[in-house]
Structure 1
């Protein structure tokens, strides 16, 4: 069995199919998907349906676009102009797909392979043990009857820094924002939600989350997506950025976990 991790698909199903052919993805192989399965690309519905059929052969973490789709499905928010969810929302298997999607975790850790995967990152002031525990708090809510209340309270930029004293929905929102929206933060975990570009747009007093020294960042191999402007370059020996901006016309990337070899296919937008 070979393990491959793939960055943000965002509905680029044709490129996903081509990438699986390039890596010769077989029946005994496993996919790790770093979140943002859907949105802005043309075939989000096909992407969800395919990944669902893989069952235990797909390890998936939720990204911010996936959570946004779920919030729309459960009626706690409406589509934005740039959203491309119509096919999913009109699909006959919509409820089944959404039930499956909200069962997916925020963090996956494989002790045997020695990899941890999240969508956006892990703050430098959290250990892996704490990160796994905090992720579980949110995951349990998503799988419960409190899911709709979660989506009502999910959006917002406050609080923007972790404190043990944070309770209730503010605590859950803070955890969710770390795992699904973080790019730049301070050494204490204060988030900047404005800067979304390359490292050259780094705000004063902030660094990319993976450039702060920390127990998790320095001692564990972390796979993440979310930050297309990095173009797959995190410049950290054990941090692997796999969002290479397929939906923006760049590439879709897979990394073979056993030897960290990269495989890429161009976006169909390049060929138009």
Structure 2
């Protein structure tokens, strides 16, 4: 069995399909794990969700910010943007069931044999791994539960961006969602920044990539979300898999046991 890890698909289903053919992925014996943002901006969000769901237990993924935003749209909390090309998905007869399925997926996955973890954006520097696991489980329970709409309405906003200022469950939920799905940079004290999306060499003074501050204890960490990195991360145990396919670049897949990478250029 091989474990294949893929960065942000964002509705680029044809590219995912071509990538799996390249790697000779077999759903009967292999596993496909996705680093979040399955939907939005590409034109095949519906095909992507239907395919991943069809793989059953051969596929797993963490939720990204676009996936959560889709759930908020489904709940009537937000409006879809034309640039996200979601109309085929929103008008699909199985849209509601796809959202229910999507909401059952976590913000954090632990790799087999406890090698490391996968999340969409990374590990908040003010957390230990133990704290990250605990808070991911807390937020997952809220998103997957019967009061999903209530909690989705709470997740928007950028405060608190300091874990030490969290005082209640609502703030804990918002901080957790932001840390796992929106973070790229942090300040030296570990507080989160959500504005800067540039490459590290172009970042304003005072900001550092989360992976320069995170307490990883030599664990591996796989993440997406940060297309500007184009897979370039200076740490051998940290794997940046978002290579901006939806922006005309390419989709990246990592075969875990031998760390071999497969790429697929944007097709259309």
Q: Note whether the superposition's TM-score is higher than 0.5.
A: yes
**Aligned residues: CA RMSD:** 1.3
Q: Which residue of 1 aligns with 2:219?
A: 220
Runs (5+) with no aligned partner, structure 1: none
Cα deviation for residue 168 of structure 1 reads 2.6
Written as runs of structure 1 = structure 2, the 5 A alignment for 1:239-254 is 239-254=238-253
C-alpha distance in structure 2 between counterparts of 1:32 and 1:164, whole Å = 33
C-alpha distance in structure 2 between counterparts of 1:176 and 1:166, whole Å = 16
Q: Which residue of 1 aligns with 2:89?
A: 88
- CA offsets, 1:97-121, max 9 Å, x none? 0010000000001251512000001
C-alpha distance in structure 1 between counterparts of 2:164 and 2:82, whole Å = 35
TM-score (norm 2): 0.96
Q: Which residue of 1 aligns with 2:2?
A: 2
Written as runs of structure 1 = structure 2, the 5 A alignment for 1:20-99 is 20-26=20-26, 27-99=28-100
Written as runs of structure 1 = structure 2, the 5 A alignment for 1:1-272 is 1-26=1-26, 27-112=28-113, 114-163=115-164, 165-212=166-213, 214-216=214-216, 218-269=217-268
C-alpha distance in structure 1 between counterparts of 2:222 and 2:93, whole Å = 34
Cα deviation for residue 189 of structure 1 reads 2.3
SS at match of 1:151: helix
The answer (yes or no) to whether the contact 1:72–1:78 under 8 Å persists in 2 is yes
Extract structure 1 runs of 4+ deviating beyond 6 A.
none
SS at match of 1:125: coil
TM-score (norm 1): 0.95
- CA offsets, 1:194-235, max 9 Å, x none? 1112112222222000012x432x421000000000001111
The answer (yes or no) to whether the contact 2:43–2:86 under 8 Å persists in 1 is no
Runs (5+) with no aligned partner, structure 2: none
- Worse-matched range after superposition: 69-78 or 112-121: 112-121
SS at match of 2:252: strand
Number of residue pairs the alignment of both structures matches:
267
Cα deviation for residue 169 of structure 1 reads 1.4
